[in-house]
Amino acid sequence: MKPMTIELFPVQCPKCDHVWHTRSTCDLITCSGCGRKISREQALRYYAVSHARGKTPKRGRGRLRRDQRGVSEALSAIMILVIIGAAAFGYYEITRGTTESQQAGLIDMLAASEHRSAQLLTLVYQAENRAAGTLKAYVYNYGTEDAELVRTFIDNAATQPRHIRDGLSGDAITDSIVEPKQLVEMTFDLPQGEVNYLTLETRWGAWYVWRLGT
């Protein structure tokens, strides 16, 4: 018995003009160039007509289309990377701005803390004069930096001293600044009732609270 042989038939895709040889006897065949399903008889006739007219088959067209699809996929991947990179850069810029702001705030806090540590106020003596309706407080600055008074409280009520004088010379102090190693006399209006606390706040956020009458 002779072995059965299957003849190779030249076919051409009417969609992409790709030419190849097939042994398939099915009604539908798949173009090896563009991957489309086409009629086997139509591919055979198209091949015959094209050669009869002297039309040059475009053998590389299917591969070119695959290459174009590959290029498109590569471009898509590059575009995705560009978008991701732009998003990452934007996030970096935002977080960098936030970090710089936080660092600046921290530097300001450290500077204020240094100023506060250089101001050391203490209440040396206090005296109430009910008849005159005054409270005198003698405050000394043991620190190395001026202490500028911004707010004063007697108990929980905000108040302003009648005057501030140098505790030794009696000269008036008009700028509310207690210099280093300086004793000042502060005179307040004495409120009605019992007085418990005197509170001072300086420019750099230092608070001093003294219990009176002890």
Determine the Cα–Cα distance for residues 121 and 124; give it in Å rounded to an integer: 9
Question: 133 vs 8, which has greater pLDDT?
Answer: 133
Residues 126 and 206 in one domain: yes
- Please check whether residues 57 and 135 belong to one and the same domain: no
Q: Which helix (H) or strand (E) holds 105?
A: helix 61-117
Domain count, the chain: 2
Closest CA to 58 of 34, 36, 38, 40: 34
| Same domain, yes or no: 135 and 202 | yes
The verdict on 128 and 196 lying in the same domain is: yes
Q: 207 and 147 in one domain?
A: yes
Please report whether residue 149 resides in a domain: yes
The residue segments making up the domain with residue 155 are 121-211
Q: Average pLDDT in the 53-57 region?
A: 56
**Whole-number pLDDT of residue 113:** 84
Q: What is the mean pLDDT of residues 72-77?
A: 73
Q: Is the pLDDT of residue 178 over 50?
A: yes
Residue 135: pLDDT above 60? yes
What is the predicted pLDDT for the residue at 67? 52
Q: What is the pLDDT of residue 201?
A: 93
> The CATH number of the domain where 207 resides is what?
2.60.40
Using CA atoms, how far apart are residues 26 and 136, in angstroms rounded to an integer?
A: 115
pLDDT at 153 over 60: yes
Chain-centroid distance, C-alpha 116: 31
Please indicate, yes or no, whether residues 137 and 193 belong to a single structural domain of this protein: yes
Percent of the chain whose pLDDT exceeds 90:
29
Side-chain-side CA neighbours of 19 within 13 Å: the count stands at 13
- Residue 93 counted as domain residue: no
Q: Are 138 and 125 spatial neighbours (Cβ–Cβ below 8 Å)?
A: yes
CA distances to 123, 130, 149, 212, 213 from 199, rounded to whole Å, are 10, 20, 11, 10, 14
Q: Is the pLDDT of residue 117 over 60?
A: yes
Q: Residue 53: which pLDDT band, with cuts at 50, 70 and 90?
A: low
In a domain, 107, yes or no: no
What pLDDT is recorded for position 60?
A: 46
Comparing 87 with 2, which gets the higher pLDDT?
87
Answer yes or no: is 95 within a domain.
no
Q: Is residue 2 part of a domain?
A: no
Q: Check whether residue 126 and residue 74 sit in a common domain.
A: no
The residue among 96 and 78 whose pLDDT is bigger is: 78
- Which of 56-60, 170-174, 193-197 shows the highest mean pLDDT? 170-174
**pLDDT at 61 exceeding the cut of 70:** no
Residue 102 within any structural domain of the chain: no
Residue 170 · residue 186 · CB < 8 Å: no
pTM for the predicted model, two decimal places: 0.49
Among residues of the chain, what percentage have pLDDT more than 70? 86
Concatenating the DSSP letter of every residue in 155-207 gives TTEEE--SEEEETTT--B-SS-EE-TT-EEEEEEEPPSS---EEEEEETTS-E
Most confident of the following: 27-31, 65-69, 182-186, 209-213: 182-186
Q: Tell me, yes or no, whether 106 lies in a domain.
A: no
**Backbone φ and ψ of 48, nearest 5°:** -65, -45
Residues 71 and 141 placed together within one structural domain of the fold: no
Residue 197 domain flag: yes
Averaged confidence pLDDT in the chain: 82
Q: What pLDDT score was predicted for residue 165? A: 94
Boundary of a domain, candidates 34, 66, 86: 86
How many Å separate Cα 196 from the centre of its chain?
A: 47
From 26, 60, 86, the end of a domain falls on 86
Domain co-membership, 77 together with 155: no
Residues, the chain: 214
| Burial (0-12, 13-18, 19+ Cβ within 10 Å), 187 | middle
* Same domain, yes or no: 131 and 198: yes
